[in-house]
């Protein structure tokens, strides 16, 4: 992604560093500008998957070398983290700073909020003999969490 030479941006396809992103904008002023913020749908996998090296959506965009791309995505990230607190502040700052040049904001989140390592067990009842799959789900908790994610997207 980032070249080994500290100040040479010739080979940079994208960056996670705002200073390098500003250099990309100056070096390639006619390229469309994209900011990606998201979870594993954007940041995973980083190794071979199905015979295609680096096969996620953002990797394909990066490989095209037709865009100035600021990558903020991280594996395991949750939508509620991205749209609140320090991550929301960082994204807002970049959106404001690059608003006159920004063409596309790519955002992916929500899956880890529901089935991540901290939440899934909160949505499940212990299965007892005779229970249907529907009865194993704590619909009240699941519906509240889903509503939170929806409200976050609206915000």
Average pLDDT score over the chain: 82
Helix (H, G, I), strand (E, B) or coil at 77: coil
Residue 154: the pLDDT is 83
Cut 0.85: pTM above it = no
pLDDT band at residue 73 using 50, 70 and 90 as cut-offs: confident
The residue ranking higher by pLDDT, 47 or 64, is: 64
Q: How many CB atoms lie within 10 A of CB 10?
A: 7
Closest CA to 56 of 76, 41, 38, 71: 41
């Amino acid at each position: 992604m980032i070249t080994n030479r500290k100040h040479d941006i010739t080979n940079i396809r994208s960056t996670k560093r705002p200073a390098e992103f500003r250099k990309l904008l100056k070096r390639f002023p006619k390229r469309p500008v994209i900011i990606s913020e998201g979870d594993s749908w954007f940041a995973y996998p980083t190794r071979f998957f199905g015979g295609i090296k680096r096969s996620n959506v953002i990797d394909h965009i990066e490989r095209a070398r037709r865009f100035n791309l600021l990558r903020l995505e991280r594996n395991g990230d949750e939508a509620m983290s991205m749209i609140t607190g320090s991550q929301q502040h960082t994204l807002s700052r970049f959106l404001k700073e690059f608003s006159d040049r920004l063409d596309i904001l790519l955002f992916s989140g929500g899956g880890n909020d529901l089935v991540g390592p901290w939440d899934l067990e909160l949505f499940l009842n212990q299965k007892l003999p005779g229970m249907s799959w529907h009865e194993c789900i704590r619909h009240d908790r699941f519906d509240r969490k889903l509503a939170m994610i929806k409200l976050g997207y609206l915000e």
